A = this chain, B = another copy of it.
Amino acid sequence: MSSNSFGRLLRVTTFGESHGPGIGCIVDGCPPGLPLSAEDIVPDLKRRATGKTRHTSQRREADAVTIQSGVFEGVTTGTPIALLIENTDARSKDYSNIKDQYRPGHADYTYDAKYGFRDYRGGGRSSARETTMRVAAGALARKYLAHHCGIEVQACVVQVGEQRAGTVDWSEVENNPFFAPDPDWVEPLEAYMDALRKSGDSAGARVDVVARGVPAGWGEPVYGKLDAELAAALMSINAVKGVEIGAGFASVEQPGSEHRDEITPEGFLSNHAGGVLGGISTGQDITASVAFKPTSSLRLPGVTIDRHGEPVEVVTKGRHDPCVGLRAPPIVEAMTLLVLMDQYLRHRAQNADVEPPFVIPPGGEHDR
């Protein structure tokens, strides 16, 4: 078994290695009738792309996506939609020196342990290049959810290493190369990143995400809870080490009388729950936060062994991000969008006829 598919009713299956001929995905289960072209996908791919500033990997991929199937006369047909992207800027020679080494913090060793050997070029299948197709599929889900349900999903970087954003102004996020929600934080962040790059070290990041406009009732008890699937989706992104929903770990220290979001006919009075109760959406903003570890590909030498068990010193050359979290928001958005669209289809499968007794207006300030 090998698990390269995601979702139940909207099902995305990806393929491709960092330095193979190309990458791609099949999106199965999209309802018919959605206007879709490559132009709908390009903007999110560009938001995720490397090489835009000096702060990210200098690999420059065209990311020219083509739609191979499932769209006819500009509209989805209900049959599988295949998206392909050629790899154009792979430099495999960069990696020959580490082909027998197990880079600390990488999947080199674990792939060898699982499969007996691996495609070592650029990390092969374990490369973050795979996330390109998540973003491509997510762009489809974004369009569908916007059109049909008025849903909007947005992510931003709120912390890099020990540097934290001072405020979260969602309207600022796209105005800088860091997906930073605080305009006053951009300059110090540039300085921080320049210093980091020079040091040869790397930094982690925290990314927040919010989904606005999700109606109450989405999500499936007991093992398909909306927050459980969101957790899996976000934890499946390369380098993620933690996921919080709503107040997250802060809820450990909140008394119940504070944490429980009280309700009035005009709406919830707070949103510590992050828009999910019992695994089902409340109609409030759905909020989550994600921890990205620091990149393990460093110019600083490290201690490791090779495939034969011999000790070696490793120094990563190649082209790498000193902080992968800086390119993560489009990926975090994509996974959130895919979970939501899948849950929407599942909800309407079982509950298309349901009329809720009362709809609470969203309201409620939330923790993030």
Contacts and interface: CB of A to CB of B under 8 A. Distances in A.
A17 interface: yes
Contact of A205 (B110, B252, B293, B351): B252
A286 interface: no
Interface residues of A, number: 160
B227 A105 contact: no
Nearest to A346: B1
Nearest to A106: B277
B109 A360 contact: yes
A79 interface: yes
Contacts of A273: 105, 241, 293
22 contacts: A1-B9, A2-B80, A5-B11, A15-B68, A22-B69, A23-B69, A24-B24, A32-B116, A77-B124, A105-B273, A110-B216, A111-B280, A114-B216, A116-B351, A201-B256, A202-B257, A231-B232, A241-B246, A248-B291, A252-B292, A265-B305, A305-B358
A110 B281 contact: yes
A236 B256 contact: no
Contacts of A11: 5
Interface in A299-314: 300, 302-305, 307-311
A283 to B, nearest CB: 7
Given A15-B82, A104-B263, 18 more contacts: A4-B28, A6-B223, A15-B81, A17-B72, A31-B351, A32-B115, A104-B260, A104-B262, A109-B282, A110-B276, A113-B359, A114-B217, A115-B351, A206-B252, A227-B235, A251-B291, A264-B304, A348-B352
A3 to B, nearest CB: 3
A168 B233 CA distance: 31
B2 A78 contact: yes
B354 A115 contact: yes
Contacts of A126: 221, 278
A154 interface: no
A254 B109 contact: no
Contact of A15 (B26, B72, B234, B350): B26
Per CB-CB distance, the 3 closest pairs between chain A and chain B, nearest first, are A107-B278, A3-B224, A105-B260
A242 B272 CA distance: 12
B354 A114 contact: yes
Contacts of A106: 277-278
A312 to B, nearest CB: 10
B70 A357 contact: no
Interface string A88-115: 0000000000000011111101111111
Interface string A218-259: 111111110111111111101001111111110111111101
Contact of A293 (B117, B241, B247, B302): B247
A256 B114 contact: no
Contacts of A23: 69
A152 interface: no
B252 A15 contact: no
A229 B6 CA distance: 12
